[in-house]
Amino acid sequence: MPDQLKLLTSQVISPEITKAEPPDTAAEALDRMTHAGLAQATAGLSPSVLGEAWTDWVVHLASSPGKQMQLREQAMRDTQAFLAAWLGLRPEDAGPDDLPDRRYADAAWQQWPFNVWSAAHQRSWRWWQDAVTGVHGMTPEHENLMAFVAGMISDSTAPSNFALTNPEVIAATRAESGENLMRGARNLAEDIMRRTGKAPDGPQPFEVGRNLATTPGKVVFRNDLIELIQYAPTTAEVRPEPILIVPAWIMKYYILDLSAQNSLVRFLVAQGFTVFMVSWKNPDADDRDLSMEDYRESGVMAALDAALAITQAPKLHAVGYCLGGTLLSIAAAAMGRDDDARLATVTLLAAQVDFTEAGPLRLFINDSEVTLIEDMMAEKGYLSSDQMAGAFALLRARDLIWGAAISNYLLGARGDAFDLMAWNADATRMPARMHSEYLRKLFLNNDLAEGRYYVGGKAIAMADIRAPIFAVGTEDDHVAPWRSVYKMHLFADTDVTFVLTSGGHNAGIVSEPGHHGRHFRIAETAATAAYKDPDDWLADNVASDGSWWEAFAGWLGKRSGEPVPPPQMGAHSGANKAVCDAPGTYVMQR
């Protein structure tokens, strides 16, 4: 125990991470170690987050006799409906008409007793949602959290999750004499192996460098945080302003260079642009002290300097995706404040600068939760990729956890692998200091939107970005809801072109021309125009079929110079000399 305390005390994260000074006593180190153990037991969720919400609910529900009466009456009606259906006294449909549920869409769920079970589950789900919401005096934050948790618990008890109460599984088991369950057991064993870091034997359907991230290019710059990839031209001439793409560091960069047919990089190169891409290092314990400022300086600014040095262009088009877009907005605001005019345009893909409406993740973020995560990271120096992936899976547990379990383990129907799924499984670690600063400064305190985020000792503001902005939100985004992305209109003091596209946080961005069923809305708001709220914007702009990529390429083209011969691939010598072929080495780090 003394050695562990000494280790924790010596490795404590810097004061910039936490509100208080770092602990310098064995007692404080013991508290941190205890909290880290608690975090392991609760999958990183602070008990006080749920405890406060539960207490708020219980106290206010106890003092709301009217609400109690409504819930009792509803419970009696639901019980009577269940008993009548179970006894065959009244036919029961698949569930309440106002709760369509695709889990019970198969015709087999319309037969007794499965129709009764599914209807009972849907009524139970609705009852619990009514029980935890609309309670007089309860805070909206606690109400939303309780609704999320109640829904998640209800989903875990769905009859579709169990072999003996799922008619589709029963039918498959009869038809295949149980072979589906045998395949499911093998699938489960493979997934357990993956969780322990052991990939199944044999070639995998998708591999980086073979059929993922295959656009030809060179790594033309490398430091301790990034590799910068320059992609080879495919046109006789290119626009003089290169494109620099800053992806999120929470996953590998190749979300924007997936397969050949849906690579945004390959598409932009084919449109006559010179494209550079940042590939982030997968950090380990030695990188525990990397900060948000390190990611800005050694990431965005270092890549920008290298791209302009190689192309000899005075300006470039900067593109940021997800957290990479947030980081790019920080860098662009600092550049505007400091009269650095090297940005021709700024493009933000599913990226937020205001985190007050940041989707379901916002439900769990408070000071207690962030402190618990900091204590959990203190010993290792990073947040593991498994912990991050688990948090995102919980946001869509019905599809990503229960739906996947039914398909893979009960039906034995391992879905055909696809590139986006392979990328989604290729997560990275988060350095302790950087991740804590991100959670506290951006998510918890919303410093960036409220003028308290400092770069170089001085506050920055989005209003200092002078380059025109192209912002993309996606209709079904659970990470960066489109109305949150739209808030850039509130902060920017420049022309903003906003696109709302179909799809979710990832699939909406990977929306190549020819992708079936895609549509998007687009409108430009001049810097001098009056603000329009998102619902009015939605009503005023009609959706167009197709991919927003083509509109984006046209937007960039109008803000670029006349085509010129392509630049060389990297410098002849020095720091920007090509060192290896794309996709480089950092993307391969596990």
Annotated catalytic sites, by residue? 322
Q: What are phi and psi of 569, to 5 degrees?
A: -85, 95
Q: Which amino acid belongs to residue 582?
A: A
Q: How many helices (H) and strands (E) does the chain have?
A: 22, 15
Q: Residue 578 corresponds to which amino acid?
A: A
- List C-alpha distances in Å: 335 to 278, 339, 343, 354, 463: 19, 6, 9, 19, 11
CA–CA dist 399, 506 (Å, integer): 15
Report d(CA 134, CA 119) in Å as an integer: 23
Whether 575 contacts 267, CB under 8 Å: no
Q: Are 456 and 406 in contact (CB under 8 A)?
A: no
End-to-end CA gap in the chain: 31
Beta-bridge partner residues of 500: 473, 521
Angle at 42 between CA 36 and CA 43, to 5 degrees: 85
Q: Would you give the DSSP letter of residue 418? A: -
Kindly write down the DSSP assignment for every residue of 447-487, as one continuous string.
TTTTT--EETTEE--GGG--S-EEEEEETT-SSS-HHHHHT
Q: Rounded to whole angstroms, how far apart are CA atoms 525 and 502?
A: 21
Q: Give which of 353, 347, 348, 351 is closest to 241, Cα–Cα.
A: 347
DSSP-assigned states of every residue in 348-370? EES--S--TT-GGGGGG-SHHHH
Please give the Cα distance from 131 to 68 (Å, whole number).
8
Helices (H), 425-563: 432-437, 482-486, 488-491, 534-540, 548-558
